[in-house]
Each structure stands twice: as structure tokens, then as C-alpha cells.
Amino acid sequence: MTDDSNIYVTIDQQQHPVLCGLCKNAIASRAEVDTPDDVGCVICDTRATNEEVLEAVQKYFQDQHQNEIIRQLGETARGSKFITFDGKPVRNTSYKFIV
């Protein structure tokens, strides 16, 4: 696999490199394959299509935001006599690709 162009996603008007969820290295386009959609990790050879990468990153981003909302709601409820909150964060999830 060659590392000729890293893959980025734009979140809140900022570009973030897409990283391999296993080894945390930037993923890149795969120049030696016939399909231009094939991208992956240069280090551990984790591969996917552009669509699969986007789906994995969206799931990762969604789970991270959900955990942040749960944390904030929990902090708010702890400070209140009138509100209780029993939300559970997403845990022990492995992601093929992350940002």
C-alpha cells in the first residue's frame, strides 16, 4: 500500500484526518489497486471503500457526541434535587476508522 494522499473529513468547517481505529495512523488512498474507492491504513492494512469509511467515521462521531451529551446531562442532574438521569455511555466499542 502506498501513502500518496491522506483521507480527511470536514466537521464543523474544520478538516480532520481519518485515522485507523486499530493503530491510530492516518489512512490513505490505495494507489496500486484497480478501484479508486479503496482506502486504508498503511501500517496494519485495514481497508475499506470510501463509503464504508464515511459510515464508520459517522458512527464514531455520533457515539462520541452521545457520550458527551450523556456526561453533561449527568453532571446537570447531579447538581439538582429535582432531576434524575440514568443515561449510559457507549463503551467498549471498537471502530474501524476514527477522527
Stated pTM of the model: 0.79
Tell me the backbone φ, ψ of residue 53, rounded to 5 degrees.
-65, -45
Q: Using one digit for the tens of pLDDT, what is the confidence trace for 54-85? A: 999 999 999 999 999 999 988 888 888 888 88
Domain ranges of the chain: 8-98
| CA-wise closest residue to 21 among 91, 95, 73, 83 | 95
The pLDDT value recorded for residue 30 is 72
Q: Using one digit for the tens of pLDDT, what is the confidence trace for 4-45? A: 478 888 888 999 899 999 999 999 887 665 666 688 898 998
